[in-house]
Structure 1
């Protein structure tokens, strides 16, 4: 029955346990709630940190005012922080997915043959014949669509500022850095391929990554953050644990389980595995729909996104004050480069390009006060936060980027902030879409010029 439940005949009912019959009854009698939603399209722009850059929402509402503010100005220097592009799963994720999904796919097929579940035939066939599209050698590597994302971003900035970037590459004019993870180096390569062209990129001498990198991966070198935030299961992940126990999450778990024909609610880790495969496949192959996504209705996707948001909000953003403070070296680097250009009148370098990870993006955005929600995300305010601006799908999809462009406007300088390539006002720092140097400079100077990570992170206590 397309888009609905497979109805049980009397003979099937006799063979099924009472639990199975109840699940079937739940599915069939509540079709509008559980079964009908499977035909809806996957919300490709709301898949948390696994959202493709090409699908991510971008706020274009500030362009008109931005153009007015920089009319007659000339861009002098650009500072860019870019998350790596769409990647393959981590080693841990590959292990979890391969340990869960192959056997589950066979069970889902068996469930439907026994009259339970309500997947469409084409989705059932795709799941039944599913084979992991990756192996351990692919772990954490950039996936092909990630090449395209970074290429398009490099091309975008070249077209935006041709006098800065539509030029012959000169190592004296451009600085590039990335972390020790291959995916960030690969991202840098494809970004430069888009910015300077196929022929030029082969002649660019990329730097050797190093660790610890206090600008791009500062959190890994911060014992205090690792202890108080990242490894603090009691407080950092408390809201997420409590959310799993809420009616919203439990209803989603029951609906997903019934949709797939299981006689008992799946475990949260099993639902997360299905959700992760759905998200990865959606990012990798935007032209086709992953059958794993058919387990979720639109409202289920909202619940799963919030489940992810509760993790990253406390682990990497406004949920803990230490998160934004650890980004001080990164923002100090922004301030130092632009201050030198303002003081000297010459941009050296004129392009600073950094490639890092979602954790870096989250913390830098929090350090700037961008997208700060009016209240903390909690396990019990899902309904109130439904239209929140801070959501991982928006704040840090694959290839997320934040850029600062220093403009000379006659005798003064202005700084334009771009998020995902769109003008974005720093509302906690200045009034306009852009900031006058006299506005942003004192703020950066006060908050980030002096950055003692050793003291902040208590490194001396750990060594």
Structure 2
């Protein structure tokens, strides 16, 4: 078990069993306890295909975490993490089910890969966390303790917040359980604050006047999906599948695989090119929804509130924000480890507000660049996390490092592009978050 002692294994496994009885974990899988997220089960689908599932991909490291140089110490860590793998949301689940009904209405199946549909029943739940997703957050909490144990003590327990959706709250709780188990129950953080999604919330994107990326996604769907629909309709005469059905059936591969923790038979209906196109569909959604490409310029403003809270923590000064921050809620400063749980659209907005992944050429809606850098599966897979470290070196001065899914970000907007920025330079680089422009953009969300 990757060097972990048998005693710790039993503690973790016992904690999972006990906590599952109280609902902290959503039906945890009894098959194994994974102590390293990169050692997660294969799910019966090749890893390179899983990475083509866009924002529905399971967490995987986008790089290899590196500790700070010798003579430097991490003094504060801020973790922003997406909830773990979930069932489809209500609308998407209904659409997936409808496409499956259309496919099963075929006069016959001319391809043996479709024969499973003869007695197939759609049985996916909606919205809630999966057992696999629960384990993802548990593992992330354990990893956080192992990596940053030196920041924790009786007077320095992680401060944990969660946006108010059930799957986000459950993910935060599972993270705290994993953290406690890895510490052998010496440190037992709890979810200190739940932020309602009915009002301003720095852990939830909210801008009614912003676009949702549907126009750009539809354009790309019109490029790749007709040929796939034609192929499926030949294999299932009479199904009369359209472009939207192609996307829905592709989405069944990740959702059913993650739900059952074995390969969904829908995966076999598609080839690698189909999944590459599916992945690019997610790239376009994130770029044009809460990323840099939102057509009204209202994508990144949805991440400003969190950025301003981050700056307050890094500098130990009060929050200066005119967007989502709610000053009436507890917001401790001078902590050493903070963990906030959110959704992927909010994470993308935070990336854009900070200046991360700022590609020079917007993603084209008619042609996919295989060498592109804006890739949703690397940025916001299920259980994605951004980690911001404050570092002090013997030579003097404080600096900042940012990791997204363990990949060190270059931070070319405030340093030499080597992934390290002086704290003062990092704060200065976040001028948009504190500007009058961000306040005006936020007002445009509602006016």
TM-score by length of 1: 0.75
Gaps of 5+ in 1: 1-38, 231-235
Q: RMSD value over aligned CA atoms? A: 2.9
Counterparts of 1:309-348 in structure 2 under 5 Å? 309-320=283-294, 321-340=297-316, 348=334
The C-alpha deviation readout for 1:203-237, integer Å capped at 9, x for no partner, is 836434324243112x32x3xxx22424xxxxx43
Q: Is the 8 A contact 1:327 1:360 kept in 2?
A: yes
The 1:308–1:265 alpha-carbon spacing in structure 2 relative to 1, beyond 3 Å, is farther
C-alpha separation between the residues in 1 aligned to 2:211 and 2:72?
Answer: 43
Gaps of 5+ in 2: 1-43, 318-331
Residue 80 of structure 2 aligns to a residue in which SS?
strand
Match for residue 229 of structure 1 among 208, 211, 224: 211
The C-alpha deviation readout for 1:395-445, integer Å capped at 9, x for no partner, is 21111110101112122112121111333322232212222223212213x
Number of residue pairs matched by the alignment? 383
Per-residue deviation at 1:201?
8.2
Match for residue 115 of structure 2 among 111, 118, 124: 124
Residue 366 of structure 1 aligns to a residue in which SS?
helix
The C-alpha deviation readout for 1:343-398, integer Å capped at 9, x for no partner, is xxx9721111110101111111112222233311122222xx12212121222111
The C-alpha deviation readout for 1:312-359, integer Å capped at 9, x for no partner, is 221121212321133111111111111118xxxx97211111101011
Residue 403 of structure 2 aligns to a residue in which SS?
strand
Aligned counterpart, 2:37: none
1:148 aligns with 2:135: yes
C-alpha separation between the residues in 1 aligned to 2:304 and 2:442?
Answer: 11
1:426 aligns with 2:411: yes
Match for residue 456 of structure 1 among 423, 428, 441: 441
Residue 241 of structure 2 aligns to a residue in which SS?
coil
Per-residue deviation at 1:93?
2.0
Per-residue deviation at 1:308?
2.8
Aligned counterpart, 1:80: 79
Aligned counterpart, 1:437: 423
C-alpha separation between the residues in 2 aligned to 1:336 and 1:93?
Answer: 38
C-alpha separation between the residues in 2 aligned to 1:90 and 1:447?
Answer: 33
Q: Is the 8 A contact 1:77 1:347 kept in 2?
A: no
Aligned counterpart, 2:11: none
Residue 151 of structure 1 aligns to a residue in which SS?
helix
Per-residue deviation at 1:278?
0.9
C-alpha separation between the residues in 2 aligned to 1:76 and 1:417?
Answer: 14
C-alpha separation between the residues in 1 aligned to 2:160 and 2:415?
Answer: 29
TM-score by length of 2: 0.77
Residue 308 of structure 1 aligns to a residue in which SS?
helix
Which has more radius of gyration?
1
1:250 aligns with 2:226: yes
Instruction: Compare 88-97 and 186-195 and name the one that shifted more.
Output: 88-97
- Tell me which protein shows more helix as a share of its residues: 1
C-alpha separation between the residues in 2 aligned to 1:340 and 1:203?
Answer: 21
